[in-house]
């Protein structure tokens, strides 16, 4: 009977970076259907959601852990788990940036977003209320906690 009430979830590997640079390999659990858009739940939905604590399996210790999302500096996931709404327009605004975290960690990648023309500046996007900023790195998607971010620099091409 209790199994009838369970929401189907899929296990997604990730790497969390804690303040100070310590990393842990974990797995998060995402729903097959997202609450706010068509398609499956993606890591950004989980991190930008309302819940303060996120259940995860610590892959290194094999134990369940509960991560305070506000305390995470960066969460990295594979590109295949990064996309959400398949019906979204396909011509985003993109900026190559270097990000400096409070602890001195530097990240580099592409910030890509869809916004109305009158709100399409990078500063408008950075000032949105979502706590995590998606940064497309060379081999992964890094979800960067804005609370741990000190500086965003546009990279000259």
Per-residue pLDDT of the chain (157 residues; tens, 9 = 90+): 555 566 678 999 999 999 888 999 999 999 887 888 888 899 999 999 999 999 999 999 999 999 999 999 999 999 877 655 555 556 789 999 999 999 999 999 999 998 888 888 999 999 999 999 999 999 999 999 999 999 999 998 7
Chain region(s) in the chain for CATH 2.30.30.100:
93-154
Contact 54, 46 (CB under 8 A): yes
Mind giving me the DSSP string for 137-154?
-SSSEEEEEGGGEEEEEE
Contact 70, 131 (CB under 8 A): yes
Question: What's the pLDDT score for residue 87?
Answer: 54
pTM: 0.87
CATH class of 93-154: mainly beta
């Amino acid at each position: 009977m209790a199994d009838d009430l369970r929401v189907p979830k899929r296990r997604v590997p990730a790497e969390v970076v804690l303040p100070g640079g310590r990393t842990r390999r974990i797995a998060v659990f995402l729903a097959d259907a997202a609450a706010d858009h068509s398609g499956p739940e993606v890591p950004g939905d989980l991190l930008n959601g309302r819940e303060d604590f996120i259940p995860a399996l610590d892959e290194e210790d094999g134990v369940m852990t509960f991560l305070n999302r506000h305390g995470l500096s960066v969460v990295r996931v594979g590109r295949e788990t990064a996309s959400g709404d398949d019906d979204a327009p396909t011509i985003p605004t993109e900026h190559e940036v270097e990000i400096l975290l409070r602890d001195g960690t530097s990240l580099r990648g592409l910030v890509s977003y869809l916004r109305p023309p009158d709100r399409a500046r990078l500063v408008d996007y950075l000032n949105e209320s979502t706590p995590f900023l998606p940064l497309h790195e060379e081999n992964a998607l890094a979800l960067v906690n804005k609370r741990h971010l000190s500086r965003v620099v546009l990279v000259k091409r």
